[in-house]
Structure 1
């Protein structure tokens, strides 16, 4: 996750304390000393929508063997013992889990910052108020374009209006809320409209996700942006963020799942604002690039632990059988051991790239989806040979 606003403006937000730490303060697993990873918990696989790019392949059915309430409480205890700073409740649709509020409230009581990734359709004024009252740090609501585009992505007519209603209910109660936008060929033309929506609806934040070929998203490889389109998208995001800065509009803008973005931003600022570029370089050195299996992990609805939510085909253990901390620090799995020290394993352009320390090989799931090799170069890296020093 790359904070464009932090890199361009130095504006402070909670997540920056996790993403931009001097290496001297980081432990060997890529997180702050004495701190566990940020954890995405898919607390249920059940969803009321059927999105075309869903990595969890969720549907509107009841799935068997999901962690019970008691097991969820034990899991949160495990995460607290391992000093996990943030738990992101995801799904499916997490608000369809009957005990969601009890679990989120318990996480907060144990010193873990609860956040939620939701489609927004279940956020009534009462739900928004409950989220605010229990101290949910952030509500991320998926919105993949303008109304027609979003409804097609979500497989339900009216999904856009329901999500927008949920956003407005959060804004009305003072709950921090943001958009989650997955970029594809079918919706990148809506990016300007999304920036306009942020301002018009007083939305705090937007995360622009690069497509990862996982779950139902595995069938969308040909729908991803080509390299030239990715560069145009990044220029638009930079331009609109700089426009917000110029006009004093306070929004948090992030891109996710492609660390080529950080290098591209740095190289553009070297041409336009060399002094700022040096500050950007310092910050992205602290970030260290992709940290799946290091500072970021996933637990699915039945308790399996994965390096991140897109690699649910790789299981490291189950929290019903072993504590999360023991699973996370066990290097007997070659993938987990490799992720914590991946540079010697990377192939293609990566080993020769001048910015490998800033990117850390980018996203492994995309590499494997296209090449069949987990350690191959990420095909979504849109930087040219010349730009990476080859």
Structure 2
């Protein structure tokens, strides 16, 4: 009989960027947290990044903008509304209209972007409607350009600096995604951000880790992961280190070697995410969610997913959709989730019974159950060495 976990983590890719800096004022997990939404507004991008996880094939055309705006206007009670794409600034007029609609129904609107096309003119059009800017910045110039293309860093950096220097947004949450080829430069990036912006409270850096399936060579192995975390936590400039469930198997060693004190754990009332204090930095294992948190992602074709791990799968992903906004409202989808009427969502609670008996369970909390479900049809972490023999490609 499967072990029942209280809640599965919706943050398989983890919450990154500005959201990791939400106020953490609770010593106990919140009983409930507000829901959040992420919407893809297009299927085009101006870059071909080597670590892009968007491999899935959409099932149809991009839904009409009028329908997307209608569904947004029907929403009630959203805490955060995140706008993504592939690259949302590729359709600037649509981005402006969606940001205006989102700002009417959510407390905070977030823009996820590579920032190359986020010109001062576009920033002024978005000001007051987009509250948090979350640009990707994967390293200093050489590393960033190796991942995103020659000249990408200079163009992004110029727009990021303009936004920071002119207070265009309430917060800028820089996102650095480390992979096996870039992790050694993480410390240099921290120093660069510290030197340019200092500790002004508006510009923050969030270090995250590349996602892929277990045989992906861009994933960090245990030694690389440990080296990266130890490097960035040795810096004076304080950051968040977001640890996706795919790296949960490394947490026992990480907690032991960094001397993580579990009494420093704090929960965010907005997201339910837990974090731990290490030398003034915050470690955030997203598998440590213990509250009923819902992060829904609207695909550009109208399908709705729980989290965004589905982006890693090649081919169409309709079978893992928990709804379709061309057929029903987001309010109805949320109602089904809260009433435990969604079959896919309910199955994410079921773990292999060996998980609860494993010594590492107190750290990994079941690991990347969403990835396991998408890969194998079970809520068993495909990265877990203990369960590896039951995993099928």
Identify the match of residue 92 of structure 1 among 86, 89, 93: 86
Distance 1:134 1:52 in 2: 33
Distance 2:259 2:90 in 1: 47
The residue that corresponds to 1:159 in the other structure is 152
Query: How far off its partner does 1:372 sit?
Result: 3.4
Instruction: Report if aligned partners of 2:44, 2:87 keep a CA contact under 8 Å in 1.
Output: yes
The residue that corresponds to 1:170 in the other structure is 163
Instruction: Report if aligned partners of 1:3, 1:252 keep a CA contact under 8 Å in 2.
Output: no
Q: 1:338 to 1:368 in 2, by over 3 A?
A: closer
The residue that corresponds to 1:248 in the other structure is none
1:243-262, aligned counterparts within 5 Å?
A: 243-244=236-237, 252-258=239-245, 260=248
TM-score when normalising by structure 2? 0.74
The residue that corresponds to 1:385 in the other structure is none
Distance 1:105 1:381 in 2: 46
Query: What is the root-mean-square deviation in Å for CA atoms of aligned residues?
Result: 3.6
SS at match of 2:379: coil
The residue that corresponds to 2:299 in the other structure is 300
Does the alignment pair 1:377 with 2:384? no
Distance 1:161 1:92 in 2: 20
The residue that corresponds to 2:66 in the other structure is 70
Does the alignment pair 1:139 with 2:146? no
1:218-237, aligned counterparts within 5 Å?
A: 221-237=216-232
Higher relative contact order (CA 8 A, sep 6+): 2
Q: 1:123 to 1:220 in 2, by over 3 A?
A: farther
Distance 1:306 1:192 in 2: 34
What CA deviation, in whole Å up to 9, does each residue of 1:190-220 have, x standing for no partner? 101110121122171122222222xxxx597
Q: Which runs of 5+ in 2 are unaligned?
A: 1-10, 275-285, 312-316, 387-393
Does the alignment pair 1:150 with 2:144? yes
TM-score when normalising by structure 1? 0.74
Q: 1:192 to 1:296 in 2, by over 3 A?
A: same
Distance 2:268 2:344 in 1: 25
SS at match of 1:236: helix
Query: How far off its partner does 1:55 sit?
Result: 2.4
Does the alignment pair 1:334 with 2:343? yes
What CA deviation, in whole Å up to 9, does each residue of 1:163-203 have, x standing for no partner? 11121111121132232122111100110111012112217
1:1-12, aligned counterparts within 5 Å?
A: none
Q: 1:317 to 1:205 in 2, by over 3 A?
A: same
Distance 1:377 1:170 in 2: 39
SS at match of 2:83: strand
The residue that corresponds to 1:363 in the other structure is 368
Distance 2:306 2:88 in 1: 20
The residue that corresponds to 1:352 in the other structure is 357
1:192-207, aligned counterparts within 5 Å?
A: 192-202=187-197, 204-207=203-206
Does the alignment pair 1:322 with 2:328? yes
Instruction: Report if aligned partners of 1:46, 1:58 keep a CA contact under 8 Å in 2.
Output: no
Structure 1 range deviating more: 99-108 or 328-337: 328-337
Q: Which runs of 5+ in 1 are unaligned?
A: 5-11, 245-250, 272-276, 383-390
Select the structure that is richer in strand: 2
Instruction: Report if aligned partners of 2:214, 2:383 keep a CA contact under 8 Å in 1.
Output: no
Identify the match of residue 49 of structure 1 among 44, 47, 50: 47
**How many positions carry a matched residue from both structures?**
338
Identify the match of residue 104 of structure 2 among 102, 109, 115: 109
What CA deviation, in whole Å up to 9, does each residue of 1:303-351 have, x standing for no partner? 1100112225321110111111322343454321123xx2xx2238632
Q: 1:232 to 1:14 in 2, by over 3 A?
A: closer
Q: 1:269 to 1:234 in 2, by over 3 A?
A: closer
